[in-house]
Amino acid sequence: MNNLTSTAVIVGFFVLMIFMRQSELSTIEEERQDNIVARQEAEAREMEDAEARAKAYREEAEKYKDAVDHDSDPKTITYPVVLDASKSRDPDQGDKLTFSWVQTAGEVVELSSTKGKVVTFAASSGQYTFEVTATDDYGVSTSVAKTVKIGAEPNASPVVILEVRKGS
């Protein structure tokens, strides 16, 4: 091989090495970018999950929860509930409000009224959702829903006390 050919081979080899190194660096940079994107997507999913958990917690915390009172009568299975919207108001002085109640979830119960500011019902353990709509004289209305969660009548297990002693 003459000097010119040797030089061309060496230069070609170096160019090939530089090209391979550049390709390797490009691959490394692409992987780094992919990792950044994947990490950002994972953080976004974690944030969404945390927000969903927080929303579920707030919704659960907003529920009215109680249990049927223990009255030593196993036949008592209902709980009296009062739904009270009497503190509702219209910021426009003098506007009168009318109310409309509807049950939106749970085993159907009978409301004492569907038009009063205060309504009552009796229900067994379960979860019930009601919506009240307040409407002013101009026909403008606002609705609010509330979930009532009633637990079963609490009843503790009997305590057995057994004594053993010498007989006579």
pLDDT at 136: 95
Q: What is the mean pLDDT of residues 145-157?
A: 86
pLDDT at 15: 79
Q: What is the mean pLDDT of residues 154-161?
A: 89
| Contact status, residue 88 vs residue 136, Cβ threshold 8 Å | no
pLDDT at 25: 82
pLDDT digit string, tens, across residues 35-90 = 888 888 888 888 887 787 777 666 765 777 766 676 778 887 888 899 999 999 99
pLDDT at 43: 84
- Name the CATH architecture for the domain at 64-151: Sandwich (2.60)
d(C-alpha 127, C-alpha 61), whole Å: 14
Give residue limits of the domains in the chain.
1-62, 64-151
